[in-house]
Structure formats: C-alpha cells, structure tokens
Amino acid sequence: MGKKPLIDQLHHEDSWRLFRILAEFVEGFETLAEIDVPLVSVFGSARFGEGHPAYALGYRPGYPGRGGWRP
C-alpha cells in the first residue's frame, strides 16, 4: 500500500494550529487597517533566497518605500 492521504494524517492539535495561524492573519490585517495613510503590503515567501529571480520580483515593488517615498 502507498502513503496515507494527508487528510488522514491530521491530528486534533493540527486543527487548533490552524486557528492560531488564522488569528495571526486577523491580527495583522487589523493592525494594517489602523494605519491612516495610503499603503501597500507586499507579502513574500521564505522559499526563495535573495539570488532567485522570483525574490527580486517581490522585493522591487516595496523598495521605493524604504526611503520614505510617497506618491
């Protein structure tokens, strides 16, 4: 037989872990909503290192804001 499907490998603790992750997203978005200036959030991935082409695609849009740039 092959591997068990991932859904069969879930445990009770995994359900609560999902709720904790969701709570972090909610907290983050609520924090961003309190900022009273136009803004853009760029979310990235830890899967790519700085030398990967996809890293530059995510980094470039956020770079102007580093110097306090405002439209």
Q: What is the pLDDT of residue 24?
A: 94
* Cβ–Cβ < 8 Å for 61, 28: no
pLDDT (mean) for 58-70: 68
Residues 21-60 have pLDDT tens digits of 999 999 988 998 898 887 776 666 678 888 888 887 777 7
Q: What is the pLDDT of residue 5?
A: 67
Task: Classify 68 in phi/psi space as left (phi over 0), alpha (psi -120 to 50) or beta.
Answer: left
Q: What is the pLDDT of residue 22?
A: 93
Q: How confident is the model at residue 1 (pLDDT cuts 50, 70, 90)?
A: low
CA distance readout (Å), 37 to 22, 32, 33, 71: 25, 10, 10, 11
Going from N- to C-terminal start, the domains of the chain cover 10-66
Token pair recorded at residue 43? 């979310």
User: Shortest CA distance to 44 belongs to which of 32, 33, 58?
Assistant: 58
